[in-house]
Amino acid sequence: MSKEAIARVRLEVVPSADLLTQLPTALGTTGSVSVTCLPHHGPARTVEASVNLAHLGYHVVPHLAARSITGQAELHSLLQPLQDAGISELFLVAGDRRVAAGPYTWSGQLLEAVKAYSPDFSIGIAGYPEGHPQLSQEQLSTSLLMKAPLASSMVTQMCFSVEAISRYLRTIRKSGIHIPVWVGVPGPVSVRKLVSLGARLGVGRSLKLARGTGMAGALLRDDFLSYDSGRLIREVHQELAGDPLFAGFHVYTFNDFGRLPGLLDGLQGLRPTIPLAAGGTSNPLFPATI
């Protein structure tokens, strides 16, 4: 892929057993990578993968899930190796674990605990352009207003609607929130996987909108062809390229790396996004619940 400046892209990856071999083979060892924290993996696996990726040369943003951390001692044991590896940016969520393993039941508590440990961490929080399947709009707004003063950036839940994304940025701006926003979009992925994730992620309404981009035809075929997110990304960029809150794209890869180079090469025609606001960090090349 060309090293010319393009719209910023951050890739979300899962800390699978073959991540350290598959990701560099497909994309080299430069760029910005966000590492998930799933209940069946646990935060230690996220931290281990993040440290290893940082040593390879990536700009790494580990996810930490509040409900998966047993307490302050474990939290500190997770943060220390990240600091030692030069990792200074985190993404905090509550996580999908039904019963909290310790005192942190939502991401706001974890955010305060991380800041108490070290104010040097830049912290990303989640945004929901189409709402959340288990939380009211009022709950989401209250939570966001509480967390935003301590946060350095936001990542939106995967969304297929340009209108919903644009409206969401306008809404949070009106509420006084002015942190950089990474817009969450799917990478090249099978429609079967998108549909299976839709209900849990709360993206049903935008999935319907996405049928106009080819998903409907794929759903009617037995082969479940991949959804091409290139068009969505170009439309979002056209809508938001001049928006001061727009940091770039957060691409949910589902570790399907084989088709990512084609998607990233397709972004070469997009002009670079504007510089991030103070407190945001990014490599300028491609570089859950609340």
Q: Which domains does the chain have, with CATH numbers?
A: 9-189+229-265 (3.20.20.220)
Amino acid 268: pLDDT:
67
Q: Which of 100, 96, 98 is nearest to 109 (CA)?
A: 100
Q: How confident is residue 187, by pLDDT bands cut at 50, 70 and 90?
A: confident
Quote the CA–CA distance of 139 and 177 in Å, as a whole number.
Answer: 16
The chain-wide mean pLDDT, for the chain, equals 83
The pTM is what? 0.85
Tell me: pLDDT of 288 over 80. Answer: no
Give the C-alpha separation, 147 to 112, whole Å.
9
For 13-60, write each residue's pLDDT tens digit.
999 999 999 999 888 888 899 999 999 899 999 999 999 999 999 999
**Tokens representing residue 37 in the block:** 């924290």
- Asked if the model's pLDDT at residue 115 lies above 90, the reply is yes
Name all contacts of 261-266 with Cβ < 8 Å and 24+ positions apart.
Answer: 261/1, 261/26, 261/27, 262/188, 263/187, 263/188, 263/229, 263/230, 263/233, 264/1, 264/9, 264/27, 265/1, 265/2, 266/230
**For position 3, what pLDDT does the model report?**
33
Residue 187, classed as helix, strand or coil, is coil
pLDDT(4) > 80: no
pLDDT value of position 265? 80
Q: Where is average pLDDT lowest: 78-92, 119-133, 217-231?
A: 217-231
* Helical residues (DSSP H) of the chain, grouped into ranges: 19-27, 43-56, 72-84, 107-117, 137-147, 162-174, 191-201, 204-210, 215-219, 230-240, 260-265
Sign of CA dihedral 207, 249, 168, 65: positive
pLDDT at 184 over 80: yes
d(CA 157, CA 165): 10
> 10, 52, 23: which is closest to 283 by C-alpha?
10
pLDDT, residue 284, reads 36
Residue 208 confidence class, pLDDT cut points 50, 70, 90:
low
Give me 35's structure tokens: 């590492």
pLDDT > 90: what percent of the chain? 57
Among 146-160, 196-210, 258-272, name the one with the lowest average pLDDT: 196-210
As a whole number of Å, the CA-based R_g of the chain is 18
Looking up tokens 């849990």 gives 200
Q: Looking at residue 281, what is its pLDDT?
A: 46
Stretch 79-89: mean pLDDT: 98
pLDDT value at 152 more than 80: yes
Q: The tokens of 267 are what?
A: 């972004």
The single-letter code of the amino acid at 87 is I
Judged against a pLDDT cut of 90, whether residue 69 lies above it is answered with: yes
